[in-house]
């Protein structure tokens, strides 16, 4: 065979060998990359015990079950005047029923219930309470305190399943909590979250409360329900949300249990809460730069006041900056109002102000705080 024939045969054999190797690669019998070894199934997927909590997360199911047993649904109905437009046609003092729905929590075995005053609406309202086992009771209004938005009810039940009290002053930020209530009339709903902030107070929230802020979902109907810690203790009464839509946005507020318990005991004893006042003042907390320009480090600015009330009669004027009350430094408006509210009626308080860069002190008589204007 000639040399040219051998070269042609070698070229044909080379082509056939290349085709054979390519077939192995395509069929999967040969890999051009490093081999990978699959881990055994029990190593690839960690096993978990059914019903056990994930690592790092608490199992709150027993706490939720206990909280649900102590949760109640509240229906309040009162008669309110009809719109004046309809009176033009029908005449007389026409009234129509107005119903409010909300939540509450059993705090004693003999039927005492804590809720919000805006859920009760009025001490004269007709109140129906439904327990978690669907038993319904007529409730008696023991007392309401609109300033803290708390109310106490009593139903004729024995051996109820109340929640134990917790110490709200011991709460820590990021502590797990449950909110229990009846949002949108979905009875005994439980939502979970954390404590977002403590001692939260702001004029847009309320005047006399240091709220617990939580991101546990709170919606209309949750008002008056329990905020519960991971030990199953009552540490707050859910009362409001901050929302631009009217629904849950992760910013809810609860009245601390320590305050709620104190108000409840006073309402059970006296049927009302008596607070002090030095008159209706329009106040503004000063920022540090503004306070410095006015000659102080901090304080509360009097923007407006009434002439016929104790503060003006004692010598205070619009434009004064209140810096101390009975030798206690004043940091903000909420603190000042709480201190005055806790002062006995008919006593006097010593108010230090800065006026035109000079410090002055006035003795102001404390009168009984009038009831708040009714919410519409």
The confidence score (pLDDT) of residue 209 equals 67
- CATH 2.30.42.10 residue ranges in the chain? 276-368
Catalytic residue among 71, 76, 100, 118: 118
* Residue 149 bears catalytic tag: yes
How far is 170 from 236, CA to CA, in rounded Å?
12
Confidence at residue 101, expressed as pLDDT on a 0 to 100 scale = 87
DSSP sequence for 165-192: B--GGG--TT-EEEEEE-GGG-TTEEEE
Q: CATH 2.40.10.10: which residues of the chain? A: 61-154, 168-270
Of these residues, 75, 223, 277, 334, which one is catalytic?
223
Which of the residues in the chain have pLDDT under 50?
7, 16, 20-21, 23-48, 51, 374-376
> What confidence score (pLDDT) does residue 58 get?
81
In this prediction, residue 146 carries a pLDDT of 87
User: H helices of the chain, where?
Assistant: 3-27, 41-44, 61-70, 84-90, 117-120, 257-270, 288-293, 310-314, 333-341
Q: Is 118 a catalytic residue?
A: yes
Which residue bears the tokens 């006026």? 355
Ramachandran sector of residue 321 (left: φ over 0; alpha: ψ -120 to 50; beta: rest): beta
Tens digits of residue pLDDT in 147-186: 889 999 999 998 899 999 999 999 999 999 999 999 888 8
CA distance 100 to 98: 7
Kindly indicate whether the domain formed by 276-368 is annotated with CATH number 2.30.42.10: yes
Closest CA to 254 of 155, 336, 175: 175
- Residue of 149, 210, 215, 320 marked catalytic: 149
Q: Domain 61-154 belongs to what topology?
A: Thrombin, subunit H (2.40.10)
Token pair recorded at residue 178 = 């449950």
Angle at 105 between CA 103 and CA 107, to 5 degrees: 160
**What pLDDT is stored for residue 123 in this prediction?**
84
pLDDT of residue 34: 37
Active site residue 169: no
pLDDT tens digit sequence for 82-137: 666 555 555 556 666 777 789 999 999 999 999 999 999 888 889 999 999 999 99
The model carries a pTM of: 0.73
Question: 168-270: what CATH class?
Answer: mainly beta
């Amino acid at each position: 065979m000639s040399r040219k024939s051998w070269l042609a045969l070698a070229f044909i054999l080379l082509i056939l060998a290349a085709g054979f190797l390519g077939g192995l690669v395509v069929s999967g019998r040969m890999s051009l990359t490093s081999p990978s070894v699959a881990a055994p199934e029990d190593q690839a997927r960690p096993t978990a015990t059914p019903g056990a909590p994930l690592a790092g997360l608490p199992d709150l199911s027993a706490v939720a079950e206990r909280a649900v047993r102590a949760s109640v649904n509240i229906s309040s109905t009162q008669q309110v005047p009809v719109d004046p437009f309809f009176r033009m046609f029908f005449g007389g003092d026409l009234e129509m029923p107005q119903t409010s729905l909300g939540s509450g929590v059993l705090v004693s075995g003999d039927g005492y219930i804590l809720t919000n005053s805006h859920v009760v609406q009025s001490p004269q309202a007709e109140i129906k309470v439904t327990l978690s086992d669907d038993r319904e009771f007529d409730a008696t209004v023991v007392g309401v305190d609109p300033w803290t938005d708390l109310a106490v009810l009593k139903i004729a039940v024995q051996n109820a399943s109340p929640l134990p009290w917790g110490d709200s002053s011991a709460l820590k930020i990021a502590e797990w909590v449950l909110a229990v209530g009846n949002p949108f009339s979905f009875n005994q709903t439980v939502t979970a979250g954390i404590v977002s902030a403590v001692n939260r107070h702001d004029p847009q929230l309320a005047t006399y409360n240091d709220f617990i802020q939580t991101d546990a979902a709170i919606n209309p109907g949750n008002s008056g329900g329990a905020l519960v810690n991971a030990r199953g203790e009552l540490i707050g009464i859910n009362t409001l949300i901050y929302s631009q839509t009217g629904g849950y946005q992760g910013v809810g507020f609860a009245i601390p249990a320590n305050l709620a318990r104190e108000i409840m005991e006073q309402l059970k004893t006296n049927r009302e809460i008596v607070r002090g006042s030095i008159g209706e003042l329009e106040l503004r907390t000063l920022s540090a730069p503004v306070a410095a320009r006015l000659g102080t480090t901090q304080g509360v600015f009097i923007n407006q006041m009434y002439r016929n009330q104790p503060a003006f009669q004692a010598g205070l004027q619009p434009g004064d900056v209140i810096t101390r009350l009975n030798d206690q430094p004043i940091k903000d408006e909420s603190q000042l109002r709480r201190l005055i509210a806790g002062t006995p009626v008919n006593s006097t308080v010593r108010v230090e102000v800065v006026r035109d860069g000079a410090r002055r002190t006035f003795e102001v008589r404390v009168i009984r705080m009038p009831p708040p204007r009714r919410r519409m």
